[in-house]
Amino acid sequence: MAEYKIKDLENLTGIKSHTIRIWEKRYRILSPDRTDTKIRTYSDSELTHLLTVSMLNRNGIKISKIAKLSQEDMNKLLWDIKVNKEPEYSMDKLLLSLVSLDEELFKETLANLLESEGLEKTFTDHLIPFLDRIGIMWLIGSVNPAQEHFMSNLIRQKIISEIDKQEIPVSTEKSVLMYLPEHEWHEMSLLFYHFLLRSKGVPTFYLGQSLPYESLVECIEKLKPNYILSSWLTAVDEKLVVSYFKKLKSDYPNLDVFAGGPQIKANSTALKKYIIEVNDLASIMKHLEA
């Protein structure tokens, strides 16, 4: 069972610690345990309950009334909000779906966001902040690998589904070969760039996860891309990442190489001779249009 401090609840729910304390003291909304040093700690069930209370409260129900509701009545009211298509409730619903492993709630929330805002805005305004909160939960040990994989794969499936709906660009003047290096399996951001580039009419070749260098070379020779793009999230030694791109630049001196991710950012000074660092779509499109 996960254990949260009150600051963790603030970061995850967006409710100020001061407000949580007031709700707890005045309305008995939560009943935290306390450590030997009197520090409040909260469980998964209390996080879920607080998210439910927050959603009801932001939907116009006074906290004094919520405090008197039975769990059954709260669930009935919550269902009305679950089917509400307003994006302002999306973060609460996504977090609820994570904690309770509720695939139906997640898919309903995501479908409503896509319908109202499209994939690009859904990803940047809702899914990236959601993944950041999963990162917080991971750091404090309140999300396990099964929960993280559950959410990541649902998001991954949806992005792939949206890519499948796109027309395949036919121009070959600005083609981009996309891949993850041999040690890398985290493809969410690369898949999103794949979608965005195709939405801009840029031809892409997506080669997926953990591609050996020799296979990359074979594909470059066969596909003749104008650019290549990779993402580096998993921690690697600086010498490894620098020598990798140094060799790539030596093998293909006229090929522009885009790369992004935490490992690229951490080694940006040593890599600036070999790559174009990617921080967002604009940094790629600027070079493509030039």
Full set of structural domains in the chain with CATH: 6-162 (1.10.1660), 176-289 (3.40.50.280)
Report percent pLDDT > 90 for the chain: 22
Mean pLDDT, rounded, of the chain: 84
DSSP state of 277: E
Query: Vertex 11, ends 8 and 17: CA angle to 5°?
Result: 75
What backbone phi and psi angles, to 5 degrees, belong to 81?
-75, -35
231-246 per-position pLDDT tens digit? 888 777 888 899 999 9
- C-alpha distances (whole Å) from 277 to each of 23, 120, 230, 283, 285 are 46, 21, 10, 8, 12
- C-alpha distances (whole Å) from 98 to each of 30, 84, 178 are 20, 18, 30
Among 124-128, 221-225, 257-261, the least confident range: 124-128
Question: What confidence score (pLDDT) does residue 3 get?
Answer: 74
Question: What confidence score (pLDDT) does residue 49 get?
Answer: 84
In the sheet that holds 176-179, the strands lie side by side as 204-206, 176-179, 227-231, 256-260, 276-278
Q: In angstroms, rounded to a whole number, what is the distance separating the alpha carbons of residues 38 and 157?
A: 44
- Asked whether the beta carbons of 77 and 89 are under 8 A apart, the reply is no
Bigger pLDDT: 13 vs 219: 219
- C-alpha distances (whole Å) from 7 to each of 3, 19, 56, 66 are 12, 12, 21, 23
Buried b (16+ CB within 10 A) or exposed e, 185-206: eebbbbbbbbbbbbbeebbbbb
- Asked whether the beta carbons of 163 and 41 are under 8 A apart, the reply is no
Residue 99 pLDDT > 70, yes or no?
yes
Query: What are the start-end ranges of the E strands in 137-255?
Result: 176-179, 204-206, 227-231
Q: Which residues pair with 258 in a beta bridge?
A: 229, 276
Bigger pLDDT: 78 vs 226: 226
Give the contacts of 170 (CB within 8 A, at least 6 positions apart): 203
Bigger pLDDT: 148 vs 278: 278
CA 155, 161, 164, 166: dihedral to nearest 10 degrees?
A: -80
